[in-house]
């Protein structure tokens, strides 16, 4: 059965861009007679707040959306992600990395011609790792592209792809060849959360039976590493549908970090749900 999802992080109130994305996914599910899943992606304890989660539910209900219950809250399922990390670690696909994000970004910036080779730092020497572990230094688990390639074999590695029913930022559509090396050796588990975005989202899409991932073009590039993780874990490949990003009067896309006007503020200003849906190009809910 067709199933899609809307998976916000409770780090602030929803804005028009969120409303457009949620309505796009919800409308697609309704048109297909399928499932619409709401998932709360709250693995960042420093930024996520219960009041923002409550606000998300309030805003979506105001828009006229409905969803399956119970809603999956990622912070309630850290053991699930830890089991996947252990699976990958036991198969020799992960390594401990004690380098900070700042150090990695600095190395990338200093590399000749901006090469991404620095984004694949590789494991520390055995002596260095033992010393760092003994010192109690924090580390992250990184996925080794070299070890992943060896595990999958050249044929599978070179044949990785995904189906894009929308379009990427440069008009990409149809069957898209995956470039597993585009993001380097990505972090799959962090010291402060126990899991990173790419692993949590692919795990949950598989667990919740999501067949169509409908989301903004800002996440198009993330599909490459997510398809690699899905293949390594034997999880099914969803169909992807990336949509254009909503922009404000100044031409900038709506974003929490830019303090874009929120739905609750629009409501307070007298905007109705029907008015917002019409403005975004959607008919009435129901």
| pLDDT one-digit tens code per residue, 77-105 | 999 999 999 999 999 999 999 988 788 77
pLDDT, residue 286, reads 52
* Percent of the chain with pLDDT strictly greater than 90: 81
Q: What burial letters (b/e) apply to 41-77, b meaning 16+ CB within 10 Å?
A: bbbbeeebeeebbebbeebbebbbbebeeeebebbeb
126: pLDDT strictly greater than 70: yes
113 pLDDT band (50/70/90 cuts)? low
Mean pLDDT across the stretch 40-51? 95
CA-to-CA distance for 33 and 46, rounded, in angstroms?
38
Pairing mode of beta strands 239-243, 72-73? unpaired
226: pLDDT strictly greater than 70: yes
pLDDT, residue 285, reads 57
CA-to-CA distance for 200 and 119, rounded, in angstroms?
21
CA-to-CA distance for 176 and 238, rounded, in angstroms?
13
First and final C-alpha spacing in the chain = 20
Question: Whole-structure pTM over 0.75, yes or no?
Answer: yes
117: pLDDT strictly greater than 80: no
283 pLDDT band (50/70/90 cuts)? confident
CA-to-CA distance for 48 and 14, rounded, in angstroms?
13
253 pLDDT band (50/70/90 cuts)? confident
pLDDT, residue 104, reads 77
Phi then psi for residue 214, to 5 deg, are -115, 115
Pairing mode of beta strands 94-97, 140-143? antiparallel
Mean pLDDT across the stretch 148-173? 97
* Higher-confidence position of 261 and 24: 24
Q: pLDDT tens digit string along 171-225?
A: 999 999 999 898 899 999 987 788 999 999 999 999 999 999 999 999 999 999 9
pLDDT, residue 193, reads 81
* Percent of the chain with pLDDT strictly greater than 70: 92
CA-to-CA distance for 238 and 204, rounded, in angstroms?
12
3-state secondary structure 51-89: HHHHHHHHHHHHHCCCCCCCCEEHHHHHHHHHHHHHHHH
Phi then psi for residue 161, to 5 deg, are -160, 170
Mean pLDDT across the stretch 133-142? 94
pLDDT, residue 247, reads 78
pLDDT, residue 109, reads 66
119: pLDDT strictly greater than 90: no
CA-to-CA distance for 73 and 52, rounded, in angstroms?
13
**Across the chain, which distance is largest between two alpha carbons, in Å?**
64
263 pLDDT band (50/70/90 cuts)? very high
Does residue 41 sit in helix, strand or coil? coil
pLDDT, residue 83, reads 97
Task: Tell whether omega for the bond before 70 is within 30 degrees of 0, i.e. cis.
Answer: yes
* Higher-confidence position of 283 and 162: 162
Report the chain's mean pLDDT, rounded to a whole number: 92
Question: In the sheet where 72-73 sits, what is the strand order?
Answer: 3-6, 35-40, 72-73
pLDDT, residue 24, reads 98
The residue to which tokens 């039976």 are assigned = 209
Instruction: Report the half-sphere exposure of 260 (CA within 13 A, side-chain side).
Output: 21
């Amino acid at each position: 059965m067709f199933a899609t999802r809307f998976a916000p992080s409770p780090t602030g109130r929803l804005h028009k861009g969120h409303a457009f994305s949620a309505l796009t996914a919800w409308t697609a599910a309704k048109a297909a007679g399928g499932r619409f899943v709401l998932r709360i992606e709250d693995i960042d304890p420093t930024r996520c707040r219960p009041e923002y989660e409550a606000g998300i539910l309030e805003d979506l209900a105001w828009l006229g959306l409905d969803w399956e219950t119970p809603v999956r809250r990622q912070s309630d399922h850290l053991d699930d992600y830890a089991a996947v990390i252990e699976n990958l670690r036991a198969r020799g696909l992960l390594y401990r990395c004690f380098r900070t994000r700042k150090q990695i970004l600095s190395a990338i910036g200093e590399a000749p011609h901006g090469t991404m080779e620095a984004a694949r730092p590789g494991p520390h020497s055995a002596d260095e790792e033992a010393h760092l572990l003994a010192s109690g230094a924090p580390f992250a688990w990184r996925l080794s592209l070299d070890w992943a390639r060896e595990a999958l074999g050249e044929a599978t590695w070179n044949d990785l792809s995904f189906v894009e029913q929308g379009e990427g930022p440069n008009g990409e559509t149809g069957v898209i060849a995956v470039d597993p090396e585009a993001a380097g050796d990505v972090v799959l588990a962090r010291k402060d959360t126990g899991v990173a975005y790419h692993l949590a989202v692919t795990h949950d899409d598989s667990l919740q039976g999501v067949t169509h991932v409908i989301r903004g073009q800002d996440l198009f590039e993330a599909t490459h590493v997510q398809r690699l993780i899905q293949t390594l874990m034997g999880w099914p490949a969803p169909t992807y549908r990336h949509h254009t990003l909503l922009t404000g009067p100044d031409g900038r896309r709506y974003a929490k970090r830019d303090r874009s006007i929120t739905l609750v503020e629009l409501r307070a200003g007298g905007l109705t749900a029907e008015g917002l849906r019409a403005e975004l190009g959607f008919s009435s809910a129901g």
